Structure 1
């Protein structure tokens, strides 16, 4: 079953603008909360002083400037990247179940990161990102290849099943590599997902890639809206569908690879947020993509903050927090889509 594009799901530009600008305000508030709460709670005056009168001798200032601000920024960038990746995948494939985590993209990236760590113990942040990009392409390629060879074609549920199988296979291979090469402790971060160890160097790598990816996604948004009507309709309107899909896939791999190289396998953001956004703003991707970016950033910043508050001073993996929302939502979608088999 394809994503609905009926008359009840028309574009709502005024609501979209409200969500975008209101979401940005809420995101700023969530960022402040993410700086305040943690193993050591910090008050607002201290935060302001660390920004205006930074004193490196004060531990609180060091925590704010070197740990919590880059952590909050990374969570926002990763959430935006995954949400937009999921929106593009769903629009491009007309598959309501498509997302980076379900389509094998994040598992592929994690697998190649495991390979990189097994080859060399001194892997730089930039080289990890390159390996993650390659792995994201590998995972997506295997999933679409397996799904395409089925007799009845590439249905949404079969694509999801192929994605689940390939994700399990790549995760098992990653675990095997981690155990054999004694890097299980290092890989445990990528399995759980999170931004706890993020530093400014990660933000400096992540920010330009995500910004470029989001700009490309916005430039493609009109083409994805047309493509979501079906390939025959898109070609009839003069769109070069193959070129659009190649560029869109490149954007997805760029955004997902960067996100996974910094935050590990954070699941379900790319599945849940595009659906919520489409329900709120309608079917035009000119509005879906920016709104999804804001909502994805907001959700992951809140999830990261909540992960520190569940069992302080210990942290709950951020992937667990997103799964609490994502797993029931995925089961609901799979059940609904399964009726179309």
Structure 2
């Protein structure tokens, strides 16, 4: 059973759960509006609206349409991907403290990017976007294979992920120390940011995120059966090995695509599923939609907070989520009943 789950959690009334989804939609719209309006130059909401739907060629229109709209849409897409990936990861491993990075996604992407920069001399974001995605996929595949392939168990996946992460991040750190130019280029990608991500980059990665989200939602029912244990899942007609493999594929598409696009943004996949279970219970059929709605709210909210706190400059969203997630993680670890999650 997940940490902190309660026998009544699985018996939440559907109207209450539906109300939570509607609230998430309202909060997402509010976070989107704030993301479009708040920045170095504050823009009133009525000017944001006119800039989107009735532009007159003003400076504010250009800021809204060319800078903040792609950034906001990227935040929505990446937030939903990280939230879904976190919900899948925690359900698959039956561990609510698991993060999508546990499958080696972040480490694989980082290793591929540092190799592209140092060995191949690629320095443009567009150039190493596909290296990041390929590295994430290869690392997740290695974790799946080391964890037992089709016979992988949650514990073996976690152990394999820890080993692969340690090895790849050791490689990354070593290469960065050997090549200081690589260190400088890598810092720009590794900070985790929504800034300077234009619509073309988002459209390049969006099909992968949509495919991953579709697969994740389709796996909700078999994952719910899998949470009861392998024997119970088989008795209910669930193909256990296939479900695990497809879950890893979905996590790779979601988190690999998000990491390739914005760099590693930590803790979103940890915080949102854990918080969502307190309201909708552990059933993946409800948990995953909650994650898809509330994770973009967190990501956009953190991005706006970073702009406000350090104005007229800004703090990158990856730094803000790391700070918030670190506080939550410490709280979870210190909880007296943490072993019953």
Pairwise same-fold verdict (TM > 0.5): yes
Query: Which shifted more, 111-120 or 29-38?
Result: 111-120
- Counterpart in 1 of 2:42? 41
1:50-129 counterparts in 2 under 5 A? Answer: 50-56=51-57, 58-118=58-118, 119-121=120-122, 125=126, 128-129=128-129
1:286-305 counterparts in 2 under 5 A? Answer: 286-305=285-304
1:163 deviation in Å? 4.8
- Return the alpha-carbon distance in structure 2 between the equivalents of residues 186 and 16 of structure 1: 45
1:154 deviation in Å? 6.4
Query: Which shifted more, 181-190 or 162-171?
Result: 162-171
- Return the alpha-carbon distance in structure 2 between the equivalents of residues 144 and 289 of structure 1: 22
- Counterpart in 2 of 1:193? 192
User: Normalising by structure 2, what TM-score?
Assistant: 0.87
Structure 1 residue runs of 4 or more that deviate by more than 3 Å after TM superposition: 1-6, 122-125, 127-130, 137-148, 153-156, 162-169, 175-179, 331-340
Residue segments in structure 1 that go unaligned for 5+ positions in a row: none
2:4/2:338 contact within 8 Å kept: no
1:280 deviation in Å? 0.8
- Return the alpha-carbon distance in structure 1 between the equivalents of residues 210 and 271 of structure 2: 21
Pair 1:327–1:138, CA change in 2 (3 A): farther
Pair 1:14–1:115, CA change in 2 (3 A): farther
1:221 deviation in Å? 0.4
User: Normalising by structure 1, what TM-score?
Assistant: 0.87
Secondary structure of 1:97's aligned partner: coil
- Return the alpha-carbon distance in structure 2 between the equivalents of residues 61 and 208 of structure 1: 28
Residue segments in structure 2 that go unaligned for 5+ positions in a row: none
Aligned length: 332
Root-mean-square deviation (Å): 2.8
- Return the alpha-carbon distance in structure 1 between the equivalents of residues 33 and 5 of structure 2: 38
- Return the alpha-carbon distance in structure 2 between the equivalents of residues 283 and 309 of structure 1: 35
Pair 1:223–1:3, CA change in 2 (3 A): farther
1:100 deviation in Å? 1.3
